[in-house]
Chains A and B, each alone.
Chain A
Amino acid sequence: MELRSNEPTGPIEHRWEKHKEASKLVAPANRRKYNIIVVGSGLAGGAAAASLGEMGYNVQCFCYQDSPRRAHSIAAQGGINAAKNYQNDGDSIHRLFYDTVKGGDFRSRESNVYRLAQMSVSIIDQCVAQGVPFAREYGGLLANRSFGGAQVSRTFYARGQTGQQLLLGAYQALSRQIEAGTVTMNTRTEMLDVIVHDGRARGIVTRCMKTGKVSAQIADMVVLCTGGYGNVFYLSTNAKGCNVTAAWRAHRHGAAFANPCYTQIHPTCIPQGGSYQSKLTLMSESLRNDGRVWVPRKKEDVTKRPEDIPEADRYYYLEERYPAFGNLVPRDVASRNALYVTNEGLGVGPEVDGERRAVYLDFADAINRLGEQMIRERYGNLFEMYERITGDSPYETPMRIYPATHYTMGGLWVDYNLQTSIPGLFAGGEANFSDHGANRLGASALMQGLADGYFVLPFTVGNYLGEVRTLPELGEDHPDVTKAVSSVEERIQRLMNAPDPKHAPEYFHRLLGKIIWSKCGMSRSKEGLEEALREIPKLRDQFWREVKITGSGAELNQTLERAGRVADFFELGELMCIDALDRNESCGGHFREEYEENGEALRDDENYTYVAAWEWTGNASEPRLHKEPLTFEYVKPTKRSYK
C-alpha cells in the first residue's frame, strides 16, 4: 500500500485554488449519468448529498436513523468556528489554521488544515442564507463568543443547540433535493459492506432495518460520512446508534485506518450512576469558568455529604497543581487529573462496580460572589439538565462530574481529496482522520463536517469522476457483488446462530468498553495496553460463541443491529490498542504514562511526526503499519505547557 497525500505544493494560501484549477470537471449535462452513494446524513453526509444532488449527480443517501435529521451532529452544543474576524480582535484564516495545527499537537496535515480554515468563512455565509438562526447582536449582526480557550471570539452559535440548527439547515437542503428528485433517501438502512470491483469502490451492501432485506447498491463511487467510533468505549457521549461498522467494513476491504488511538475525552460529563448506565451526557465546558473542582482530602470523607466536609479537608487539586490555569486547564489535563485523584481512592458519588468515579464541581463560591441570579443566567439550562438527570440541584450541592469520550480524531485515512486508499471511496467528517491531528479544538467538529460536505467533497468527487470518465458496467449478478452480499448474509446467520447463546450483545459491549476505557482511555501504559491486547481477542471469541439474539434476521431486529456493531468494535478496539502501543510518545488525546515529565505530555517529534495508517491483513491482531510523514512548513512545533 502506498500512501500519497496528493497535497498541492507552493504557498499554502493558494494550494486549494491551485488544486482546483488542476482538477477535472464533469459537465452539467453529464452529471446525471453518474450514481453516487453517500452513507450518513449528518453535517458531512447531509451537506455532501445535498450539494452533489444540486449539482446534478444522481445521489443515493443512506442513514440508519428513521430520518436524516437525527444524525448525531444534532447533539453538538457549543458552536462553530469561522475566521470572519467580525469582532475585530485579530482573527484571520492564518490564525485559525495556526490554532488548529497547534491544538492538534502537530499531528495533522498543514494543507488540509489551511483549507479548513479557508472554508470556515463560506460555511457561515451558507448557513445564514439557509435560515440557520444564529445568535445575533442588537444591531442585527452575528454574535460570537470565545470558546475552548481561544484568544479570539470566532465561535458562532445558536443557543446551546448549534449542531441541531446546522444539521437542520443541511437536512432542509437535502430535503429540497429529495423533492427535486436528485437525491433518493434511504432511511432505516444500514451499510454492512463495501463492494469493490476492479480495485475501485462501486457500491455497498445494505440491510433494510424494517424488513431485514439485504441488498446490493451499485454506483460509480461511494462517500462515507458515518461519524466516529467513540462508542467502542460503550459509555460515551455519542448517540446509542453511532458505530464504526461502515468505516470498519471499508477498512477490511483495504482502506487504511489512521491514528485510531487519537480519541478525545471531555472532562465535564455527568458521571456513571450505576452498572445499568447506557450513555453519558456532556455538560458544557464553560461550567469550569465559575465552578471549582475538588475531591475530599481524606478517603474516609468520600461518602460524606459534600456540605459536611470543611474547607480545610477539600482538595482543590487543579488549583493546587496548576496555579496559573487552575480549573481552566485544557481538556486532557483536567481529565487525567480526575482519573488520578479517583485512582487514589478520593472519588465521590455512588459506587459502581467497586469504584467511585466522580469529582465535585462546586458553584458555592461563585454563587456567593456573583449571586444566584447571575449564575442562573449563565448556566440555568445546564443546571436544569443536570437536575433532570441526577435529581440534585447544583444551586444547593456541588455537581458531580467525570470525563467521558466524545470525539474521535482518528478515522479512515484520506488524501487531500478526502479519498481513502480504495479508489472511488471517499470519507468526510468525523469518519476521516484528516484535520484535527491528535486533538480537536472546541467548535471545530461542526466546521470540519460542513467544510467537507459543502465545499470539499462536491469538488473532489467531480475530479474523481472526471478522471475515471466511464466505469465498466457492473451488474448485480457479478461475482464481486454476489460475494459481498452473501458474505453479509453469512455473517448475519453466524451472529444469529452462535453455538452457545447466553448473553445479549450489550453484555459483551460493556465488558469491551471497560477494557478500552481503563487501558486505552485517558491514560495508557505499555503494560495496560498489552493486557488489553490479551483480553480483547479472548472476549471477542466468547462473544461469537455466546451472543444471543432472539427473532430472525428477516425482520426489524434491534438486537441483531447492535450485535453486528459490537462485533466490529471488537476489531477496532484491538487496533486502537495496537496503535496506542506503537506510539511511544504522549500527544494530544493520546497520553502514555511512560512519556511524561512532571505530569506534562512528552511528545517525540523526532520519531513520531507521522500519521499511523494501518492496513488490514486478514488478521485483526496483525495489522500492517504504514507511515505518512508530516512536515511543518508554516507552524513550527512547540511544546505545550500549562504549569
Chain B
Amino acid sequence: MSDHLLNLTLHVWRQDGPTQGGRFETYQAKDITTHMSFLEMLDVVNEELIEKGVQPIAFDHDCREGICGACGMVVNGMAHGPQKLTTTCQLHMRQFNDGDEIWLEPWRASGFPVLRDLVVDRSAFDRIIQAGGYISIRTGSAPEANELPVSKADADKAMDAAECIGCGACVAACPNASASLFTAAKVSHLSLLPQGQAERRDRAQKMVAQMDAEGFGSCTNHGECEAACPKGVSIRWIARMNRDLVRSLIRTDKPVASRTAP
C-alpha cells in the first residue's frame, strides 16, 4: 500500500488525423501517485492540457477493467506496456519509477490506420468476424440447450479461445502485423464446439481470406502475439486454424472470393 509520487516525462505520438503526418511531443506528468492507473495518469495530463488550451491526447478506452478491448497503446515499445497479462487500462503507475521517460505510440499496422494520436481504426477486425466468425442460427429456432452434450474439456478449451477481447495488441506486437492470433482464436472457439461443425470448413477459409485482404501480414511463428496478449490467448490456436484451413482447401473445390477492405 506504500504510495509515493512520481515525476515522469512522456513522449507521446501526436497526429491530427488519418492523412496528416505525426510527431512525438513531450509532456511532463507531475506528482503522479503510484496508485493511479496508467489511463488516470493520462487523464490528469489531459485535464491540465485542456486548462492550458492545448488539445488533449486522444486515446481509446471504455470499461477500464480489462474486458472491453477498447484501450491499447504501445508503451515503451510494448503493446499494453510492461506488465504481463494486463491491458493498458489495468496497468498501474507502481510499475514505473520516479524520473522515467515513457514513450507512447498507437498500434502500428497498415490494417489499423491512425485516426488521431493514439486512436486507431480497428474495424478490420469486425470485417474478419463478418466474413464468417459466427454460427448461423436463426433467432428462436434453437434446439433445447441440453440436447447436445459438449464434453467439459472441449467447452473449457473453447472458452480459452473465446477469451480474446479484440484489442489488437497481437497485431501491434507482431513484426509482420499479422492478425493470425485474433482470427485463430475465433476459428478455434467455434470449431471446438459441435454447434460450429456445419460451417467449419468455410469459416477458416473465409476469415483468413478477409484477414489477408485487410493488409495484415502472415504468421511466421515469432510468438510476440501470445506474449503481448492481455488475456493469454495461446499461439497454438494458430496451428489449429491452419489445420482447419488446409483441410478445407483440400476438401472444398469451390473457391472463396476474398472481399476487399473498404
B133-141, B170-178, B220-228, B249-257 - interface stretch: B133-141
- Cα A194 to Cα B98 with chains together (Å): 50
B219 at the interface (CB under 8 A from A): no
Q: Which residues of B contact A129 (CB under 8 A)?
A: 135, 137, 141-143, 145, 195
B152 touches A66 (CB 8 A): no
A448 at the interface (CB under 8 A from B): no
A137-145, A433-441, A617-625, A635-643 - interface stretch: A137-145
Looking across the interface, which residue of chain A has its beta carbon closest to that of B35? A273
A95-103, A169-177, A251-259, A284-292 - interface stretch: A169-177
Q: Which residues of A contact B67 (CB under 8 A)?
A: 74-75, 161, 164
Return the contact of A131 from the options B17, B140, B195 (Cβ within 8 A). Answer: B195
Most chain B CB neighbours (cut-off 10 Å) among A126, A168, A548: A168
- Cα A564 to Cα B101 with chains together (Å): 34
With known contacts A140-B151, A274-B36, A178–B130 Cβ distance under 8 A: yes
Return the contact of A548 from the options B51, B94, B115, B131 (Cβ within 8 A). Answer: B51
B8 at the interface (CB under 8 A from A): no
B236 at the interface (CB under 8 A from A): no
Looking across the interface, which residue of chain A has its beta carbon closest to that of B128? A175
B106 at the interface (CB under 8 A from A): no
* A interface size (C-beta, 8 A): 85
Most chain B CB neighbours (cut-off 10 Å) among A171, A388, A503, A549: A388
With known contacts A141-B146, A240-B62, A551-B55, A455–B17 Cβ distance under 8 A: no
- Cα A548 to Cα B150 with chains together (Å): 56
Q: Which residues of chain A from 122 to 147 have a CB within 8 Å of any chain B CB? A: 122, 124-131, 133-142
B135 touches A130 (CB 8 A): yes
Looking across the interface, which residue of chain B has its beta carbon closest to that of A506? B47
A391 touches B68 (CB 8 A): no
Looking across the interface, which residue of chain A has its beta carbon closest to that of B2? A391
A205 at the interface (CB under 8 A from B): no
B74-82, B119-127, B238-246 - interface stretch: B119-127
A68 at the interface (CB under 8 A from B): yes
A241 touches B139 (CB 8 A): no
Q: Which residues of B contact A69 (CB under 8 A)?
A: 69, 126, 129, 166
With known contacts A69-B69, A239-B64, A54–B126 Cβ distance under 8 A: no
A504 at the interface (CB under 8 A from B): yes
Return the contact of A454 from the options B56, B83, B139 (Cβ within 8 A). Answer: B139
Looking across the interface, which residue of chain A has its beta carbon closest to that of B136? A176
B215 at the interface (CB under 8 A from A): no
B144 touches A125 (CB 8 A): yes
With known contacts A158-B159, A278-B64, A126–B137 Cβ distance under 8 A: yes
Q: Which residues of A contact B56 (CB under 8 A)?
A: 504, 550, 558-559
B34 at the interface (CB under 8 A from A): yes
User: How many pairs, one residue from A and one from B, have CB atoms within 8 Å of each other in the complex?
Assistant: 231
A389 at the interface (CB under 8 A from B): yes
- Cα A63 to Cα B133 with chains together (Å): 20
Q: Mark B6-30, 1 if CB is under 8 A from A, else 0.
A: 0000000000110000000000000
Q: Which residues of B contact A241 (CB under 8 A)?
A: 62
Q: Mark B29-40, 1 if CB is under 8 A from A, else 0.
A: 000011111011
A514 at the interface (CB under 8 A from B): no
Most chain A CB neighbours (cut-off 10 Å) among B63, B152, B163: B63
B33 touches A274 (CB 8 A): yes
B37 touches A66 (CB 8 A): no
Chain B proximity of A502: nearest CB distance (Å):
7
Q: Mark B185-200, 1 if CB is under 8 A from A, else 0.
A: 0000110010110000
- Cα A615 to Cα B11 with chains together (Å): 50
Q: Which residues of chain A from 143 to 191 have a CB within 8 Å of any chain B CB? A: 158-159, 161, 164-165, 168, 171-173, 175-176, 178-179, 185, 187
Q: Which residues of B contact A282 (CB under 8 A)?
A: 65
A72 touches B62 (CB 8 A): yes
- Cα A237 to Cα B53 with chains together (Å): 30
A466 at the interface (CB under 8 A from B): no
Q: Which residues of B contact A237 (CB under 8 A)?
A: 65
Most chain B CB neighbours (cut-off 10 Å) among A129, A555, A558: A129
Return the contact of B68 from the options A54, A70, A503, A559 (Cβ within 8 A). Answer: A70
Chain A proximity of B122: nearest CB distance (Å):
6
Chain B proximity of A158: nearest CB distance (Å):
6
Most chain B CB neighbours (cut-off 10 Å) among A54, A130, A133: A133
A577 at the interface (CB under 8 A from B): no
Return the contact of B63 from the options A51, A239, A273, A502 (Cβ within 8 A). Answer: A239
B189 touches A131 (CB 8 A): yes
B261 at the interface (CB under 8 A from A): no
B139 touches A51 (CB 8 A): yes
A131 touches B142 (CB 8 A): no
- Cα A551 to Cα B56 with chains together (Å): 9
B145 touches A84 (CB 8 A): yes
With known contacts A125-B143, A130-B135, A173-B134, A72–B155 Cβ distance under 8 A: no
A14 at the interface (CB under 8 A from B): no
Q: Which residues of chain A from 188 to 224 have a CB within 8 Å of any chain B CB? A: 210
A460 at the interface (CB under 8 A from B): no
B234 at the interface (CB under 8 A from A): no
Q: Mark B87-114, 1 if CB is under 8 A from A, else 0.
A: 0001010100000000000000000000
Most chain A CB neighbours (cut-off 10 Å) among B46, B68, B140, B143: B68
Q: Which residues of B contact A173 (CB under 8 A)?
A: 134, 137, 139
With known contacts A131-B196, A274-B33, A86–B146 Cβ distance under 8 A: yes
Q: Which residues of A contact B149 (CB under 8 A)?
A: 136, 139-141
- Cα A391 to Cα B36 with chains together (Å): 11
A504 touches B131 (CB 8 A): no
A-B contact pairs, 5 of them (CB 8 A): A67-B123, A70-B70, A273-B33, A388-B92, A504-B50
Additional 12 contacts, C-beta under 8 A, given A504-B47, A548-B51: A51-B140, A70-B63, A74-B63, A126-B139, A133-B189, A134-B155, A135-B155, A136-B155, A140-B151, A175-B126, A504-B46, A548-B50
